[in-house]
Amino acid sequence: MGDAMNNSFTPTPFPVPNPLSGANPQPIEPGGGAFSETVDGIRGSVRVARRAGKTIGFVPTMGALHAGHMSLIERARSECDFVVASIFVNPTQFGPNEDFQKYPRPRDRDLKMCGDAGADIVFYPSVDVMYPAGYRTFVEVQGISEVLEGAIRPGHFRGVATVVSKLFQIVAADRAYFGQKDYQQQLLIRIMTRELNIPTEIVTCPTLRDPDGLAMSSRNAYLSPDERQRGLCLSQALFEIQRKLDAGDRDLVQIGRQFREQIAATSGVALDYALIVDAETLAELTSIQSEMVALVAARVGSTRLIDNLVLRMRDERG
């Protein structure tokens, strides 16, 4: 891992030499990939790409990558000329009793997956690079940071907003790609970029699921086979809401109650929240409207799972 004193402009090659450090940037072969542990390394690579007239796409992650992350990188690859991914397990978004220490960090596998999905370079900073000793600047998006996930994980969204705004300053991308899987997070980032006048367009990408419906998540690796089976109640309860709406059910209060009951009835699953909310304000809804999202968070054993579904009224479906 790098340290705060390493200010080299040349990104570290992995596993092949980084062509971006030369005068003539070349695309990296699939399965190759380059990474840099320094801010200057990434800025230098982005500068070379910009000078060549390329648009910059950015995909921030915490690593332990799965097909959901890959889909974001592939989307960025399809829409941008130069793709930067980042892998950083951000300590400021973890609570004191959360899984920061045990969060998986399979570095070589992650770097290879980034290359395979089409990233040109990966920013892989150490904690010291992002938060040098004495660090004291934080970004807070009021209101939305304190509800739902924010109510259960105090300080979480302050950490997210801080690290994403720092990453946005470092990469200066034209577009940044986030998953709908973390619905509240992408909404918060949209608000933050708008209010801070950050000239990066936020693109939200669909949630990738395993064939049984479980939303892909790095934390799924913590689940035992039995827990994984119980965890399916989240997506099943979400799909059930859409089924009811499709069947013409319009009693949102009852649909919401049944949503909660379905999850609460699953043994070994402790519900944090399950609500149908306004897609923009996240305020709980009692009657049908056009922009609705169902959000759920629950603990299965010691693993916390979240999921959501943007709800569609039948006559609006494509």
Query: So which residues are the catalytic ones?
Result: 69
Nearest to 307 by CA among 182, 193, 200, 223: 182
DSSP-based helix, strand, coil % in the chain, nearest 5: 40, 20, 40
Asked if 189 touches ligand AMP (CB under 6 A), the answer is: no
The residue type at 211: P
Query: What token pair was written down for 252?
Result: 């949102």
Q: Which of 216, 277, 285, 311 binds ligand AMP (CB under 6 A)?
A: 216
In this chain, which of 62, 113, 173, 298 binds ligand AMP, going by CB under 6 A?
62
Closer CB to ligand AMP, 41 or 68, in the complex: 68
Q: In b/e form, how buried is each residue of 246-258, taking b as 16+ CB within 10 angstroms?
A: eeeeeebeebbeb
Q: How far is the CB of 137 from ligand AMP (least distance, A)?
A: 21
The pattern of x and - marking residues 19 through 38 that bind ligand AMP according to CB under 6 A reads --------------------
> Is 193 one of the binding residues for ligand AMP (CB under 6 A)?
no
The piece of 32-40, 63-71, 255-263, 299-307 that touches ligand AMP (CB under 6 A) is 63-71
First to last CA, the chain: 47
Q: How many residues does the chain have?
A: 318
Q: Are 45 and 22 in contact (CB under 8 A)?
A: no
Using CB under 6 A, which residues numbered 155 to 184 contact ligand AMP? 178-179, 181-182
Of 69, 75, 158, 228, the one binding ligand AMP (CB under 6 A) is 69
When asked if residue 218 is in the footprint of ligand AMP (CB under 6 A), the reply is yes
Smallest gap from Cβ 289 to ligand AMP, in A, equals: 24
Q: If binding is defined by CB under 6 A, does position 207 make contact with ligand AMP? A: yes
Cis peptide before 15 (omega within 30 of 0): yes
**216 or 252: whose CB is closer to ligand AMP?**
216
Per DSSP, 278 falls in state: E
Cα dihedral 171, 185, 187, 113, rounded to 10, equals 50
Q: Which of the stretches 148-156, 195-203, 204-212, 269-277 binds ligand AMP when contact is defined by CB under 6 A?
A: 204-212
* Burial group, residue 59, by CB count within 10 angstroms (0-12, 13-18, 19+): buried
| Shortest separation between residue 204's beta carbon and ligand AMP, angstroms | 8
Q: Round to whole Å and give the CA distance between 1 and 229.
A: 37
Cβ-based nearer residue to ligand AMP, 216 or 298: 216
According to CB under 6 A, which one of 217, 262, 303, 308 is a site residue for ligand AMP? 217
Where does the chain have alpha helices with state H? 39-51, 67-79, 107-117, 127-130, 149-152, 156-171, 183-195, 225-246, 252-264
Query: Out of 33, 68, 118, 256, which residue is the one contacting ligand AMP (CB under 6 A)?
Result: 68
Of positions 163, 215, 276, 300, contacts ligand AMP by CB under 6 A: 215
- Contact with ligand AMP (CB under 6 A) among 85, 141, 188, 208: 208
Interacting residue ranges for ligand AMP, rule: CB under 6 A: 61-62, 68-69, 71-72, 178-179, 181-182, 205, 207-208, 215-218
